[in-house]
């Protein structure tokens, strides 16, 4: 325990704090002697029997390293004690500088950090949200089943012009330094732009193997309008059309349906997947609405910059990793100014929501529901064939578990907020809600079926 420590707290702006700490030399010296004595019992030095090495010899050999160890120990313990003594909760890791730690003198240092702002949360009573009522029809199942069928199509090369539904393989050259090879694309009518320029990949419609096409793209990274349109050359290498399998029991078996029932069993499994995906989508829709209302009704004047920076860097790294996966280019390209601004706004939104969440958890004294954590782990395992292996991996990984715990607590906060609002119900179609082309995850569906 540290005694007689001197601590002075200064405010730097609204959230910034500076701690000036002084730890008496007497306490440093006490620990230094203790560690030297412990070393004397274990040290092996020529000319002395084990455990009989004089302290002055131990100090000559190990004095410098012991002093550094003592200083590092007191930096940690004294900072923790100073924060606790002054009821300060840093929003991030304090930065320690101006360290004075000369042998024979007191330890002096400065710790700079930000504290969390005072946050109050207004009730959402009186807020009305839209709640959708969606029934999955047999026609919806047919639509998803057709997409699964299309996903398992055999692609047959054809000598004709490329048309809607065909798969085209091509190379594209933007410049001598930027060449992308063997890109494949399934042509859709929605890919055809309404205007004349830029044409982009719409030039592939009506193209034939061996044809070289010139086209134009919009480059959003360019701030100047005159630089936004860039030219490219496309070389068509293959045109293939889909050959679809018959929707019969053999097709169901091909997708892993082994029990009796064939296609009927497959339809049941697809419907179950659709319902689970729909439930998640409807929940996310309500969650998004209630978060927007929470943010709109609760302002936080100043946010800790360290939290904003951390969240921005996280969002940036995720975006850059996605870009690297989608491109053969392994270098990290700088983000355009527009994208940086969007990430900063999203980071601010997330930090603000996180602070409001933490406040609600404390006010409602919410405790993490372990059963919901287990349920999430069960759901994650269901997406893989080796279910138990995946679940064991999750339970053994502290970082994954920490993330799941945070998700569950956030879900519990959302539940608390949803109890405060009122709903207007509206009927909607499955295709409308799911945004069919964008949101149906065929790959995930196949994993569930398998």
Whole-number pLDDT of residue 156 = 95
| Within a domain: 265 | yes
Cβ pair 122, 298 in contact under 8 A: yes
Which CATH number is 425's domain given? 1.10.3120.10
pLDDT, averaged across the chain: 86
Whole-number pLDDT of residue 394 = 81
DSSP state of 160: S
Alpha carbon separation from 247 to 31, 40, 238, 263, 446 (Å, rounded)? 79, 82, 28, 7, 16
Least confident of 32-36, 57-61, 348-352: 57-61
Same domain? For 316 and 417 the reply is yes
Q: Tell me the average pLDDT across 261-287.
A: 91
DSSP state of 327: S
Whole-number pLDDT of residue 227 = 56
Q: Is 22's pLDDT higher than 80? A: yes
Same domain? For 224 and 313 the reply is no
| Within a domain: 281 | yes
Alpha carbon separation from 285 to 124, 150, 379, 415 (Å, rounded)? 17, 29, 20, 13
Convert the pLDDT of each residue in 404-428 to its tens digit. Answer: 999 999 999 999 999 999 999 999 9
Least confident of 74-83, 324-333, 384-393: 324-333
Number of domains comprising the chain: 3
Same domain? For 266 and 375 the reply is yes
Q: Is 450's pLDDT higher than 50? A: no
Same domain? For 179 and 294 the reply is no
Least confident of 215-224, 236-245, 279-288, 393-402: 215-224
The SS3 assignment for 99 reads strand
Of 104, 110, 105, which Cα lies nearest the Cα of 75?
110
Confidence class for position 399, pLDDT limits 50, 70, 90: confident
Of 294, 279, 258, which Cα lies nearest the Cα of 385?
258
CA distance 437 to 431: 9
Same domain? For 309 and 437 the reply is yes
Its domain, for residue 306, covers: 128-140+261-449
Beta carbons within 8 Å of 250's beta carbon, 6+ residues apart: none
Report percent pLDDT > 90 for the chain. 52
Confidence class for position 57, pLDDT limits 50, 70, 90: confident
Same domain? For 287 and 433 the reply is yes
Instruction: State if pTM tops 0.85.
Output: no
């Amino acid at each position: 325990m540290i005694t007689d420590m001197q601590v002075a707290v200064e405010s730097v702006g609204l959230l910034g704090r500076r701690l000036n700490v002084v730890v008496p030399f007497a306490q440093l010296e006490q620990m230094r002697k203790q560690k030297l004595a412990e070393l004397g019992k274990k040290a092996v030095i020529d000319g002395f029997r084990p455990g009989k090495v004089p302290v002055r010899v131990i100090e000559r050999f190990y004095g410098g390293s012991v002093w550094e160890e003592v200083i590092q120990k007191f930096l940690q313990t004294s900072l923790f004690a100073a924060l606790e003594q002054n009821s300060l909760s840093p929003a991030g890791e304090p930065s320690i500088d101006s360290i004075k730690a000369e042998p024979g003198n007191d330890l002096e240092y400065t710790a700079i950090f930000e504290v969390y702002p005072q946050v109050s949360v207004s009730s959402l009573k009186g807020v009305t949200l839209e709640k959708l009522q969606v029934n999955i029809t047999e026609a919806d199942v047919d639509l998803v089943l057709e997409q699964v069928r299309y996903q398992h199509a055999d692609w047959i090369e054809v000598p004709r012009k490329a048309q809607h539904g065909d798969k085209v393989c091509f190379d594209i050259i933007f410049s001598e330094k930027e060449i992308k090879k063997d890109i494949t694309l399934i042509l859709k009518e929605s890919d055809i732009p309404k205007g004349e320029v830029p044409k982009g990949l719409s030039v592939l419609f009506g193209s034939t193997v061996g044809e070289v096409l010139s086209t134009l793209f919009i480059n959003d990274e360019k701030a100047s309008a005159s630089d936004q349109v860039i030219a490219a050359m496309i070389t068509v290498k293959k045109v293939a059309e889909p050959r679809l399998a018959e929707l019969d029991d053999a097709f169901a078996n091909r997708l892993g349906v082994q029990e009796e029932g064939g296609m009927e069993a497959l339809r049941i499994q697809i419907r179950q997947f659709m319902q689970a995906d729909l439930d998640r989508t409807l929940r996310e829709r309500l969650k998004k609405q209630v978060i927007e209302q929470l943010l709109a009704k609760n302002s936080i004047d100043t946010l800790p910059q360290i939290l904003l920076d951390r969240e921005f860097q996280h969002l940036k790294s995720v975006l850059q990793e996605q870009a690297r996966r989608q491109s053969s280019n392994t270098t990290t390209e700088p983000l355009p100014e527009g994208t940086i601004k969007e990430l900063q706004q999203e980071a601010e939104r997330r930090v603000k929501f996180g602070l409001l969440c933490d406040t609600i958890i404390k006010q409602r004294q919410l405790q993490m529901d372990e059963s919901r954590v287990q349920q999430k782990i069960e759901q994650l395992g269901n997406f893989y064939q080796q279910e138990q292996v995946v679940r064991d991996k999750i339970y053994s990984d502290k970082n994954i578990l920490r993330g799941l715990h945070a998700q569950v607590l956030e879900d519990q906060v959302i539940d608390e907020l949803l109890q405060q609002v009122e709903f207007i119900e509206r009927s909607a179609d499955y295709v409308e809600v799911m945004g069919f082309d964008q949101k149906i995850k065929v790959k995930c569906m196949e994993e569930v079926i398998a």
